[in-house]
Structure formats: C-alpha cells, structure tokens
C-alpha cells in the first residue's frame, strides 16, 4: 500500500499538488444561484464550470466542490475565476493551517472542520477552502460529509436573512456552519473528560494513562486547528473595499466571540487533562501507599513471630525452656500480646 | 429525563434559543422607574411590556426579568426596545461568555454571577444579561435568586448617589453588585484551600486528591467566567457618545480595579492549588518512605536471625554445635548483639 | 471572638468601610510642615484637622495618620481636603491592591509595606495610602510601626535634598522608604531558601515539605503585593500637569528600576522554590531507592538460604543427606559461597 | 585531535573568523547567470570572482559557495561586492542565529538547514548565508550537500516563473528550498514520536527515557533554529526600496505562513514529548504498583502460614496439639481456608 | 567576621554607598587618551583626576577604575565630570541590574561580567559601570581581573577601526568585550550539562540531584544578569543627539543580535536542565522498578517454598507423608517444578 503524501515537498511555489488521503470516490460539484426572489440549484459535471457567466440581477453564485484529488479541476477553477496560483496550491494542500489571504479580486479562506470519534477518542480533521469573488463563492470540501447542508437548506427555503444579503454573508454563513460544529466536539470532549475522571477515582485500570495521553494529543491538534481562526476572523472583520458589506460586520464579530469562547474552552480542557493526569498519579501513589502498608503490617507482625518459632524449633541439646511445663502456652500468650500491641500501634498510625 | 441542551447548534444566526436548564417555574418581570425626586416600582405581566412609552422627566426605566426559557417574551422585548437579533440570541444562551457589544442605539453586556457551594466544593454559575438604551435598562437573570436586591433597595430608599445619575450609573451599579459577590466566593475558596492544607499535613486521607482536583476544575471555571470581564469593563470605560456620562467614568475605573484584583486572586489560588498538589505528593512520598523504612528495619533484623534459627533447626546427624553445653546461650547472645548493632546503625541513618 | 471582615461586600460604592483587623489602639496623627528654611512638627488630635489653612511661603504640609478604623476621621479628611469618595473608600480597605488613581485636584496612591517574620516563615503585609494635593500630602498607615521615620528625620535634620523640593518629592521619598524595606525582605527570604536547601541535602525531615509550601504561598502574596507597583510608578512618571515637577522624574525612574529588580528577584525565588521542591522529591526518591536496595539485598541473600535450612529441617524418614558425615559442613560452605557471590553481584550493580 | 572552535571569542568586531567543524575538503564556487531568454552556468575557481562585471541585459547573477573555512575568499567576495564587514563576519560564523540585516546596497540573510538523522535521533544543522545586491545573489553553504539543487534545475530548465523575476525572487526561492526541507524533518520527528508512544505502551525498556530526553533536546535546537525565521521573513516582507518587487510579496507572505505552521508544529511536538514523558512515568508507576501487588499478595498469604508451620515445628516437650490424631489435617484445612479467603479478598480489591 | 552588606537600605536617595565584598586591595586608575594619530597611556593616582582638562584635537579620554570601595573617589569623579548623583549611587551598588540611564550630558550604563567556575559549578558575577560624556568614557570594574584588556591592546596597537571612531564606539567595544565573555560561559555550561547527562544515564549517584539543582540556580542568576541587556542595547541603539554617531549603529545592532542569541541559549539550557531533572527522576523510577522486580521474583519463588519446607518440619505425631519412602524426592521435584514455572512466568512478563 502506498503511503499517503503528507506534505508537498520540493515542488515549485504555486504548484497544485494534492496531499493527504483521497477520501471521496468521485468528485461532485454542486451549483446554487440565488437572490432575494429566485433560487436555482443543480449538480454540475467537470466541464460545465467553463461556461461561467457574469451573474445578473444581483444573483449570488455558489460552487461547492467535494473531493480535492483532481488538481486539473482545481486549476480549471483557477483559470475561470482568475484565482492566484498560491491560493490554488492551498486548496489542494489538506494539511493547511486556517488562514485568510487577500488577493486582488478575491478573498481566500481555509478552515478545518473537526469531528470527535468518541469510540476511538480521536478527532477527525477536514480541510475546507473558501474563495469569495464579488458575487460568487467557491467552496472546497475534502470528503462527502456535507458541512454546508444547513446553509443550503436555509437558502432553498428562504429562511433567515441569507437570501437578502451579499456573497460576504454567504461566506460568513459557511464559516459559522463549520464553527457551530466545534460546539458538538467540545461537548463530547467534556463528556469524555468527565467519564475519565469518574473512572480514575473508581477503577484506575491499565487503559487510563493512554486515554488521558491520547485525549491530550487530540486537544493539541484541535487547538492547532482552531487557534489561528481568531486571526482569520479578525482579518475578515477588517477587510476593506467592496467585498464586505457593513451589515455583515456584526455577524463576523459574533463569530469572533464564538471562536474566542471555543479556544478558551479548549485551553480549559487542556488544563483539565493535565489536572487529570496529576489526579491519576496521586491515585497510583495513594494505592501504592496502601499496598505497602498492608505488606508492612503483615511482615512486621509475622516476621518476628516466625523468628521466635524458629528459635524454639532449634535442636540444641541444652535448651532449658523446652522442658518447662507451660513454656509453650506462655510463648503463645506472648505472641498474642505482640500481635495485639502491633495492631493497635498501626491502627494509631492509621495504616489500615 | 431529557438531557439539557448545552449549546445552540445548527440554528440560523440570530435565532433566540434557550439553552441550559430551566431554573425558574414562572418568569417574573419587575419594573422600576425613578429620577431624583420620584420612584415607582411594580411587577409586570408578559403583556404589559408592549405598553412601553418614552420616559418623561428624566425618568430612568429598569425592567428586570428573572427566567429565560420564554423566548417569545425575549423576542417581544427585542421588538419593543429595538434590540439587535444577535443580542437577543445571547440573552437566551446561558453558556455565554462575558462580553460587551455596542449596537446602534444600545449597549449589550453579559456577565456571570458565581456562588460557591462549599459543601459540594462546587461553583454555581448564572448567566446575566444587561441591555442599556438612552434612558432604560433591561436586565435578565437566569434564576430567582435576586443579585440586584441591594441596588433596588438603594434606589427605593434614595441612598447613595444612584437616583441622581443616568442609566449608565444603573448599569455600573448592577455590574458592581454582581462583582461584589465574587469577593464572597474568593473568601470561601480561600477557606477551603486553608482547610485542605491543614488536612494534608495532618491526615491525608482518600478524599483529598479528588478535592484538590475538583477545586482546581472549579477555579478554571471561575477564571473563564471572570477573566473576560477585564475587557468588558475596559470597553465600557471607552464607550463614547451620549450613552455614558463622564461622572460615571471614575466608578467604572474602580470596577476595573476590582476585577483585576479578583483575577489576580484567582490566579494566585490556582498557583496555591498546584502547590497544594505538590505538597500532597510530597506527603505521600514521605509517608511511603517511612513505611518502607519500618519494613526494611524489621526485615533486615529478623530475616538473618530467622536464617540462623533455621540452621540450628536442621536435622543433620552430625552437627557438633548442637551438642555443646552453652551453644544455645552463645547464639542468643550473638543474636542480641546483632539486633543492638543493627538498631544503632539504623538510628544513625535516621531511619526511625 | 468576632471574625474579621476581610472585604467590603454589599456596601454602596464610595462607602468608607474599615476592613481587616484593627491593629492600633488609638489613632495618632502627626503633622509636619516645612520649606527649605523652616520646619515645624506636631501631634494633632482628631478635631484639629478641620483648621486646615492654605499653606503659605511654599510650605509643604504632611499629615501622617496611623490607624484606619476610625472611618469618621477619614471622611473628615475627605471633606477638608476635598478627596474623591472612591479614594476614601480605598483608604479604609486594607486589602487594597497597589494602584495610582488620578482625581481632579489630587493623586491617590496605595502601596503595601511587607515584613518577613522569619520564625514563622510568614510575610506580614500592611496597607498604606498616600494622597497628594498641590502642596500637601496625606499618608495613612495601618499600624503603629512607622515606615516613614527615616523620611521624617531627614526632613527635620534638613539632610539630602528633600527640604528643597515639592510635595511630589515627598511622595517619592515615602514610596522609596517602603520599597527600600523590600530589600530586607528579599535578603531574609534568600537566607531562608539557602537554609532550606542545606537542610534538604543534609537531613530532609518532616517539616521541609510544609516549609517549602508555605514559603511558596508567601512569595505568591509578595508578588501580588509588589508586581502592580510597576504600573503605579510608571503612571506616576507619566503624570502631567503641575503636580509633578521635572526634577523628580529621574528619582521616580530610579524607583521604577528598583521595583523591576525586586519583582525580578521575587520571580527568581519562586523558580528557586520550585527547583527546591524538585530537589526534595529527588532526595526522597533517592533515599527510597537506597532503602529498597538494602531490603532487597538482605532479602535476596537470606530468603533462599532460609529455604535451604528449612529443607534440611524437614522430618522425612528417608532423607539420605541428613546421615552423611560432612553434609552439614558442605551445606555451610555452599551457603557462604552463595552469600559471597551475591554480595559481589550487588556490589557490581552498585546497590550498596 | 584539536577541538573545534565553537564560537568566535576575543576577536575584534568585523573579524572574519571561521568557527565550527570544517565539513568540506575543497571549496567549490558555482556561478549562474540568467534572464528570461538566456541562462549560463559554470564552475569558478577562487581567482575568477575578481573579474566581476556589472550585469547587462537584466541578467541575474548567482554565486553559490560551498565550504566556509577559506576566510580569505570570503573577504575577497566582500571586497568585490562591497559587503559590510559585520555581514562577512556572520558568513563565517557557523553558529549564527537566523537573521536579516539591511545594509546600504544589500540585504544579508542567514538561515539554518536542518536534517533529521533518524538512526541517531539527532538533528543536523547547517549554516547558510545569503547576500542580495541589486542584480546578484551570493549564497554560502557550509557543506557539500546542495540544498539549492531544485532551484538550480528550475532555472536551467526554465520551469515556473523564476526566470522572469528579479534577484528578490531568487532569494525567496532559495529560502523556500531550505524551509521546504523542514517538512521532511517534521514528518520524521512525528514518526519517531509515534514509534516512541507505541513502545512505551507495549514495552517500556531501558532506552526510552533517554530517547524522549534526546528528542526533547533536539526539538529545543530545532525551535531555536526556526523560531527567529518568523522575524526574518516579516522583515523581508517589509523591506522597502528597489531591492524587493511587489510581485514577490505574495510569495514571501506564503513563506511566512509556512514558517508559522512549522513553528506551530514544533511547539506541538514539544508538548507531545512532555506528554510522552508523563505517560512514561505513569507507565512506570503503574507497573511498579503491579509488581508490589504481586509481592504483597504472595507475602501476605505465605508469611502467616509459614509462621503457623513454624509454631508446630517447635520442640517444646509439652505441646498437646502435636499428639492429637487429626491436628495435622485440621491445620492443612485451616491453611487452605486462609489462602482461599485472602485470594478472594485480594480479588475483590482488584489486586490481581 | 563582619557580614557583607548586600544591599543599600535606608540611605537617602543618591547616597553613594559601597555594597558587596571588597574584592581589591588597592584601587587602580588607568588613563588612556587617543585619536587616529596619537595614543597616550598612564596610571593615575587618586589626586590627579582633578586635573581634568577638556580634550583637544579630537582626543578620546578613557578613565578605567578597578575597585569600588572608595566612595570618596567615586564622588570626586562625579564632581569633576558632572555625573548625576543617582548614577554615582549605582556605580557603587554592586548588586545593580543592567540598565541604561540617559542623563543630561552623559549616558550611564551598568552591565555584569560573568565567569563560570566549573569546579564549583558556580557563576561569578562582577558589576561593571560605564559613563560616557561627549569625548570621554569612565569605566568602573569591581575587581582586578581586567575585562577590557583586549580593547586596550587594540587601541594601543591601532588595530581595527577603534582609533578612528568616537567615544560611543569605545563604549560599544567595552560592552562587546564583556558580552564576548558570555560565550565562554555558555560553552562551559553546555559542557557541564552534557557531562551531567552522561552521568545520569551511566551512574546516577548521590551528587547529581544537587548538581542539577545548583546549575539551575546559576542559570537563574545568569538569566537575571543578561536578560535586561536586551533593553539596554535597544535603548543604546535608540539614543538620539550628538553622543552616538550613525557609523556605530550597525555595530550596536550586531551586539543586540549577540545578546538575543545568548538569552536564547540560556533559555534553552534552562529547558535542558528541566528535561535533565525529568530524566533523572525517570532513571530513579526505572531503577526502583528493577530493584522491586528482583525482590519480588526472589520472594515470590522462595517464600512459598519455605512454607512447604516448614510444613514438613512440623512435629505432629501423625503426618503420613513423612513416612513414605519417596516423599522427600517427590517434594524436591515439585519444588524444582515450581521454580522453573515461576521463572518462565516472570521471564514472559519481562521482569528480569
């Protein structure tokens, strides 16, 4: 089996190289055009994007591509919509960090969709790229799970204010859809942490240490995917010119609040996981202490007694105590006394 | 039992969705209008807010709502007072992080009231939203405990300078009332930490590790609820225009000092709890060391002696020592010597 | 016994409420007026402050109050010198964080005096408030220990440049006197740390872990009391207008250097204490290792030998070795061999 | 063997002193001149650089030197191309931190090439210096491995846009070639971390602790070599004047994104390695716990039983139990009962 | 023996008080005046500094004082060269943190020379003060080791560019001489760390933990002495006016790069030492695990066997096995089987 190419290395700048695993069988392109009055939706094939025409009647055009392995298609989009080669390069690079680049004629945004696979305590990360021109939006998703379904339905149904707004609001709505999913992730991580906490205190078994560890690793990944979004949204908010309208600004600021809250929560969960590791180590130390106390109590009581029994099991010819009438019983009584004394001593020291 | 919806996921932006647990049975609305000369207080029902009239005679109007589950009521407030949809959305979202948003025509502030339930070592957090227009203030509390009682009494009694000031001073007074309660929380946490510290040094039992852990988690929550307030108050201080008067600025700056002091204390308590965890681990290690020393002293003394006793308990036909007259007493004397020697050796090594 | 009120909770803003423990029996007020030519010193009673007169001949007036529990007196000062209510509130709040507030007509500064009680490894913290008007300075100390004695003597003796300067230089001198004491604290903490370090390496007894812990807690308190001073002095340096003269600026900058150096040292000591805790844990682990090695050496040598002795102490009718002539001596020789072999093995593994 | 001189100490400022190990036998100089139409490549000897002539026809000149121990050659370059002495000093200092210095007439950049030697878990670091004049670029590499081969081939083949651009694009392309290699390093480190993680959970042997440690050390080195590049590229982006053209700016910004992503990853790997160390300690503690539980179970069962056997091995004349008919069997039954009881007790405590 | 006065406490601001240990017997003053053409060097006595004359012919004057305990001499310098009292105070304060103060008429700089005493793993720190006027430089060293010898020789020999430049270049050269020595320190610390690392993995003896600890403490001291230099050199670079010439700016910027690199390295070494401590704890834990496994293997094998031997050493009248013909050999065979079984079990668990 061929190993996936994780990163584009050695190609010349601007080369469109698909990195990562191919996650879809066949690339699908969905086209939607709408304004306040009309809406029109259709699936395209690879050829039809060449028939791009300037939108009329304030129509907003949205091309949604699922699957990124066909670099020729991406380059065709670049040619038709006049996208900068470096933006095209980043569309195909699935390891891309979230960022916003301003090119003449368009805004390019990458963002990562995250899903928590609770069974494997693993976060699945998907690369999503958005390109906004004056009256069109291109969106590229890595696999077939459609992050943007809610937005598409709102447009088709004419719900909310989306049909009345410009392309910038559509980009906002798409980003909002991705970021909204983070809350699901956050809730599931919180549940996983609470479950771990309960397990440590009740039954700290062999798997906990690797579970804490892998959850920590995943939170590192999540933070790396989310933290740069703050800058992206701040840059989006500060964009000047005709591309972004004033009415959308309040919504972008709201988005920024959401991201800050999520980054905050991710940081909190990292601290919680560190604290959980501390708790686990305390628990191990505490149990070790208990085990050692049991061992010490048993040994301290019986080793000296065994020694005494050993003494009177010796075979010397001349051991006067052996021949006394009550020495056996005296010894037994003495041993009982020793046991009782030691137990009360250990009890006082709270060793059991 | 239905699980609470923790976060609003998937709804369109600006949708007013109640999240969290419903904490009150019936929503209550309290209305207060005052100026320096007059004051008028009454309880409203849901319908009466529609009869809002522009205030006359410099009257300040204060609507205080307790209970957030009736989203229709919140939307009605929004319609009457012309509140931005995104602000209404945040009124109903009980997981909201403290923030200040400036909308045309009004300032929207969210803040969290915190109470420490000492018995459960748990912090209870309540979402509070404030909306300030030119001469009115809307306040929304999540449950029936009234954070604002002191302010209401000061207005009714005409104490202090509150009746002489504008709506901005009322907002300041409401925020001050919430922040004042943090000091109670701080004092109780400090007492809990001191109690834990004493317990670790005197009797580090099974519960301590989870108590430190849960107190740490709660401090994370507290910090998350308080830290953003710094920015809120700074933004409040920097608001320009007619909404905020100069005379209130000194008070807002004072509020900011309080918040910085509280955040400082929360950070200090986090450091203290980390130090407490270190202390607990040291204590466990120290006790383990003591236990092991006892075990080692006992074993090191008696295992060799038992061996000696075992040797003379062997049944070989030809063991000359067995038949000597004083060999038993010589052996006992030798054993005593060994015990005394070892004890003085361990004493010198300070093992007991 | 009534518990001290640690923080002012629930009072209206600007209320002068004394918090903390009352540390002096009777409040004393000391008055000093001076210019380059004359100096005049006297003790006042509570009534005489009302006879405040505008200073003549460039006289600087200094009122020094020791004891803060008489809030009526503080309010009287406020009335006479026209001090803002929020400043008065902070005079009486002994938990106040260092800060500088600029009010119309005066500068208000709070600062904390710190003393290290070496015997209890505890830092005592005192609240000090300064208020500077055009030609007068009010100073409020919490207890009878006079931090400002050196300054008073320099004024009375006419030493240095203090008699030639304005009120701002007096404020500088008072702050310098308090900050100078921090160096004493710093030296004593350094000595305590060095003593602890020596004790850990030589004789890590039961008290060390709590000593490290309490020193850490105290350093947290110290940092919290000192760190905000950087901002205070920076703000003092940046004050514009007639209150602060150019000639004092170099001295204030020097003060800032001192505070930065002290904060630096406090941070260093915190790192040292953390490192000390690490050292202590290493020491415990190392000793545990040693103890366990002793136990293991003893057990590993004697438990198998005891087993051998036990075997030949069995009472089977038919055990041929028991009846051979030299088997006892052969066994003894074999046992000696085993001991020597094991000892050399452990020696090679450096276990003792 | 003479020890390498690690750092230039004591020489006067601007002295060109070679530090580090000599990594090449013979210095090689490669010369390339190109414009959109023509390209010309040749190897030079030390003398021929003096025949430098001002480029004609928009030709870009690129001198690539491999090997830095010939300080006379470096000084000759300095004389011919009028390079500032401090830049020449930094060319020969192989310990140089990445930086960009702007001199009149040229830009000087140093950067470090990194390679991960997986077998030794060691990162090899090479010092690379670039100097850009109006229409020429000087590059200095420490050893014979050619980092710039890809760029040279693109120029010779006329691929991409490099032949159409100015000297600034060549510098960009050279930096991009070095930074591209970091991704290889990153991938190999990630694999090493994953391998370590697997090994800890499956078979934590003696080498792991030093492997984690040395990987941590290497990541410190890597971070130290990469982190300053952010400032370098930011400074490159902000250069004004004729040296850098507008068309290159997008590419430099892209380079900056790459570096931020790499620094991000390096930070993440450091966190991962810390987490790995925690995991390793947990694993050791967990195994220790298991070992101690086995020891305690065995000791707790057999030490009391041995004592019992010892008692009935004593040789007292009067021990009535010895003479009863079934006492042996009763004792065996009792012992069996004790074993079963203890085993079920330990089972309930989950000790095995 | 009188304890050294570590810090100046209680003196009035501007008082010149010598703190620290007196390190030289007799103060020596060296005088050097030079311009591009001439150079003149002589040793002065305390009186001759009063005969200061304004330099002619662009002569640069350099007074170098070794030994700081004669505060009268320092005050005399202050009087002759018109130095601000606060600068004089800092000349005599050997605990001074590096800083740059700009006074009317001169620049005052303090810096610390550091030497690593490898044998004691201790860093020796020396206080150095520089004062620069329009055409003269005063330098004050704490002891007789001359940090500035290289600079003096370059001036006397006329090497480099120093004779052609102004006083600012001399100050740069003096600072460069001190900072150059840090590289020696850095190299020696690196060697000490590598030696420790090797020792931990090969033979972690009793001294390591205190060696790590003391090296950590020293690095804290080093960082505290070096880190503020960044600000000093930045301030030096930003000085405006006639005191600093443009030509020196490139050299100061180079100095700043050196300091950033050194601070970077010091931070890296701190991280390395922390990692070393982790390694040491892992090593201890790992060895402890090994020791416990040996103990457990031995105990688990022989304690049950000893019990068996004990059973057949009992003296019951009726024990049928004792009288069977082959029971002894059967028992021996059974015991051998148990030993073999357990060994293979432990082998499978990799306990030895």
pLDDT tens per residue across span A224-246: 999 999 999 999 988 876 677 87
D194 touches chain A (CB under 8 A): no
Residue D310 scores a pLDDT above 80: yes
For residue D2, give how far its alpha carbon lies from the nearest alpha carbon of chain A (Å).
39
Which residue ranges does chain B devote to CATH 1.20.58.340?
A: 286-348
pLDDT above 70 covers a percentage of chain B that reads 97
- D299 CB neighbours in chain A (<8 A) are 295, 298-299
Q: Determine contact, residues A131/A107, Cβ cutoff 8 Å.
A: yes
Closest residue by Cα to residue B134 from B65, B77, B73, B59: B59
D315 touches chain E (CB under 8 A): yes
Band of pLDDT at residue A101, cut at 50, 70 and 90: very high
Q: Which CATH number fits domain A28-282: 3.40.47.10, 3.30.365.10, 3.30.460.20, 3.40.1280.10?
A: 3.30.460.20
- CATH code, residues E286-348: 1.20.58.340
Exposed (0-12), middle (13-18) or buried (19+): which is B164, by Cβ within 10 Å?
exposed
Q: Which of C288, C321, C325 sits opposite B289 (nearest CB)?
A: C288
Distance CA E298, CA D294 (A): 12
Residue D2 has a pLDDT of: 43
Residue B2 has a pLDDT of: 43
C-E contacts (CB, under 8 Å): 139
Distance CA B111, CA B235 (A): 14
E278 touches chain D (CB under 8 A): yes
Distance CA C186, CA C166 (A): 31
Taking only the tens place, the pLDDT of each residue in A147-165 is 899 899 999 998 778 898 8
**Which B residues 138-177 touch C at CB under 8 Å?**
150, 154, 159-162, 172-173, 176
The pair of structure tokens assigned to A321 is: 């105590």
Q: Which of D197, D295, D307 sits opposite A305 (nearest CB)?
A: D307
Distance CA E5, CA C152 (A): 24
Q: Which of A260, A300, A314 sits opposite B295 (nearest CB)?
A: A300
Residue A14 has a pLDDT of: 80
Q: Which of D160, D161, D317 sits opposite A322 (nearest CB)?
A: D317
**Residue A6 CB neighbour total at 10 angstroms:** 16
Which residue ranges does chain E devote to CATH 3.30.460.20?
A: 28-282
For residue B197, give how far its alpha carbon lies from the nearest alpha carbon of chain A (Å).
16
Distance CA C101, CA C86 (A): 10
C217 touches chain B (CB under 8 A): yes
**Which A residues 60-89 touch D at CB under 8 Å?**
84, 86
Q: Among positive and negative, which fits the CA dihedral A234, A238, A244, A250?
A: positive
Residue D10 scores a pLDDT above 80: no
CA distances (Å), origin D149, targets D33, D178, E307: 15, 11, 76
Q: Determine contact, residues D126/D112, Cβ cutoff 8 Å.
A: yes
Q: Determine contact, residues C303/C263, Cβ cutoff 8 Å.
A: no
E257 touches chain D (CB under 8 A): yes
Q: Determine contact, residues E236/E100, Cβ cutoff 8 Å.
A: yes
A309 touches chain D (CB under 8 A): yes
Distance CA B20, CA B3 (A): 9
Q: Which CATH number fits domain A292-348: 3.40.50.1970, 3.30.300.30, 1.10.3430.10, 1.20.58.340?
A: 1.20.58.340
Q: Is D327's CB within 8 Å of E306's CB? A: no
D286 touches chain A (CB under 8 A): yes
Query: Which pTM value belongs to this model?
Result: 0.88
3-state secondary structure of E135: coil
Q: Which residue has the tokens 């019983």?
A: A329
Q: Determine contact, residues C80/C53, Cβ cutoff 8 Å.
A: no
Residue E44 has a pLDDT of: 87
- A285 CB neighbours in chain D (<8 A) are 285
Average pLDDT over residues D256-273: 92
Q: Are strands C122-132 and C136-141 parallel, antiparallel or unpaired?
A: antiparallel
Which residue ranges does chain A devote to CATH 1.20.58.340?
A: 292-348
Band of pLDDT at residue D177, cut at 50, 70 and 90: very high
- B275 CB neighbours in chain C (<8 A) are 213, 216-217
The CATH class given to the C283-348 domain equals mainly alpha
Exposed (0-12), middle (13-18) or buried (19+): which is A188, by Cβ within 10 Å?
middle
Sequence-distant (6+) residues with CB within 8 A of B334 are none
CA distances (Å), origin A322, targets A311, A313, A329, D150, D322: 11, 9, 12, 96, 14
Distance CA E106, CA B102 (A): 51
| Residue in C closest to B300 by C-alpha | C298
**Residue A108 CB neighbour total at 10 angstroms:** 21
Q: Which of D210, D295, D322 sits opposite E296 (nearest CB)?
A: D295
Residue C45 has a pLDDT of: 81
Residue C352 scores a pLDDT above 70: no
Q: Is A292's CB within 8 Å of B294's CB? A: no
Distance CA C129, CA E99 (A): 30
D-E contacts (CB, under 8 Å): 139
Residue B308 has a pLDDT of: 93
Taking only the tens place, the pLDDT of each residue in A293-344 is 999 999 999 999 999 999 999 999 989 989 998 999 999 999 999 999 999 9
The pair of structure tokens assigned to E16 is: 């010149």
Residue B3 scores a pLDDT above 80: no
Sequence-distant (6+) residues with CB within 8 A of A194 are none
**E strand residue ranges, A51-199:** 60-66, 99-103, 106-117, 122-132, 136-141
Residue C313 has a pLDDT of: 92
Q: What mean pLDDT, rounded, does chain B reach?
A: 88
Sequence-distant (6+) residues with CB within 8 A of A144 are A23, A24, A28, A66, A67
Q: Determine contact, residues D306/E310, Cβ cutoff 8 Å.
A: yes
Residue A1 has a pLDDT of: 39
User: How many residues can be counted in chain A?
Assistant: 352
Q: Is E315's CB within 8 Å of D322's CB? A: yes
Subunits with 3+ Cβ pairs within 8 Å of D are A, E
A-B contacts (CB, under 8 Å): 139
- A322 CB neighbours in chain D (<8 A) are 315-317
Q: Is D14's CB within 8 Å of E160's CB? A: yes
Average pLDDT over residues D219-230: 92
Average pLDDT over residues D2-13: 66
Taking only the tens place, the pLDDT of each residue in B87-122 is 999 999 988 899 999 988 889 999 999 998 888 888
Sequence-distant (6+) residues with CB within 8 A of E216 are C271, C275, E270, E273, E274, E277
Closest residue by Cα to residue C9 from B169, B237, B158, B258: B258
Q: Is D309's CB within 8 Å of E304's CB? A: no
Taking only the tens place, the pLDDT of each residue in C277-330 is 999 999 999 989 989 999 999 999 999 999 999 999 999 998 998 999 899 999
Per the model's pLDDT, the better-predicted residue between E54 and C84 turns out to be C84
- A231 CB neighbours in chain D (<8 A) are none
Q: What mean pLDDT, rounded, does chain A reach?
A: 88
| Residue in B closest to A299 by C-alpha | B295
Q: Is E209's CB within 8 Å of C282's CB? A: yes
Which DSSP letter does residue B19 get? B
Residue D1 scores a pLDDT above 50: no
Q: Determine contact, residues C291/C275, Cβ cutoff 8 Å.
A: no
Residue C331 scores a pLDDT above 90: yes
- A326 CB neighbours in chain D (<8 A) are 318
The least confident of C19-23, C53-57, C59-63 is C53-57
Residues (pLDDT < 70) of chain E are: 1-7, 241-242, 352
Closest residue by Cα to residue B264 from C224, C221, C266: C224
Q: Is A291's CB within 8 Å of D292's CB? A: yes
C99 touches chain B (CB under 8 A): yes
The least confident of A53-57, A187-191, D95-99 is A53-57
Residue D152 has a pLDDT of: 92
Strand order of the β-sheet with B60-66 is B39-44, B28-34, B60-66, B136-141, B122-132, B106-117, B99-103
Q: What is the ipTM of this complex?
A: 0.84
Residue C199 scores a pLDDT above 50: yes
Q: What mean pLDDT, rounded, does chain C reach?
A: 88
| Residue in A closest to D264 by C-alpha | A224
Subunits with 3+ Cβ pairs within 8 Å of E are C, D
- E7 CB neighbours in chain C (<8 A) are 183, 186-187
């Amino acid at each position: 089996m061929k190993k996936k190419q994780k990163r584009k290395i050695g190609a010349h700048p601007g080369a469109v190289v698909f990195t990562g695993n191919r996650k879809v069988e066949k690339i699908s392109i969905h086209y939607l055009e709408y304004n306040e009055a009309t809406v029109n939706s259709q699936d395209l094939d690879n050829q039809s994007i060449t028939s791009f025409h300037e939108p009329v009647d304030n129509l907003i055009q949205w091309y949604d591509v699922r699957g990124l392995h066909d670099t020729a298609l991406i380059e065709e989009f670049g040619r038709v919509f006049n996208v900068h080669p470096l933006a095209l390069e980043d569309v195909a690079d699935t390891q891309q960090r979230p960022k916003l680049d301003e090119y003449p004629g368009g805004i390019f945004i990458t963002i990562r969709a995250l899903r928590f696979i609770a069974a494997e305590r693993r976060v699945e990360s998907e690369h999503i790229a958005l390109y906004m021109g004056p009256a069109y939006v291109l969106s590229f998703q890595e696999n077939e799970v459609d992050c943007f379904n809610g937005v598409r339905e709102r447009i088709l149904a004419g719900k909310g204010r989306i049909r009345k707004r410009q392309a910038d609001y559509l980009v906002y709505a798409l980003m909002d859809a991705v970021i909204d999913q983070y809350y699901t992730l956050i809730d599931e991580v919180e549940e996983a942490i609470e479950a771990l906490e309960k397990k440590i205190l009740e039954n700290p078994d062999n798997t906990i240490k690797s579970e804490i560890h892998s959850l920590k690793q995943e939170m590192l990944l999540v933070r790396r995917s989310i933290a740069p979004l703050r800058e992206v949204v701040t840059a989006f908010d500060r964009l000047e010119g005709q591309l972004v309208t004033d009415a959308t600004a309040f919504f972008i600021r709201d988005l920024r609040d959401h991201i800050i809250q999520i980054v905050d929560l991710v940081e909190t969960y990292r601290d919680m996981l560190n604290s959980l590791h501390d708790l686990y180590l305390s628990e191990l130390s505490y149990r070790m202490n208990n085990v050692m106390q049991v061992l010490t109590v048993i040994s301290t009581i019986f080793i000296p007694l065994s020694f005494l029994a050993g003494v009177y099991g010796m075979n010397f010819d001349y051991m006067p105590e052996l021949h006394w009438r009550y020495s056996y019983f005296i010894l037994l009584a003495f041993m009982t006394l020793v046991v009782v004394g030691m137990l009360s001593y250990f009890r006082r020291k709270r060793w059991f």
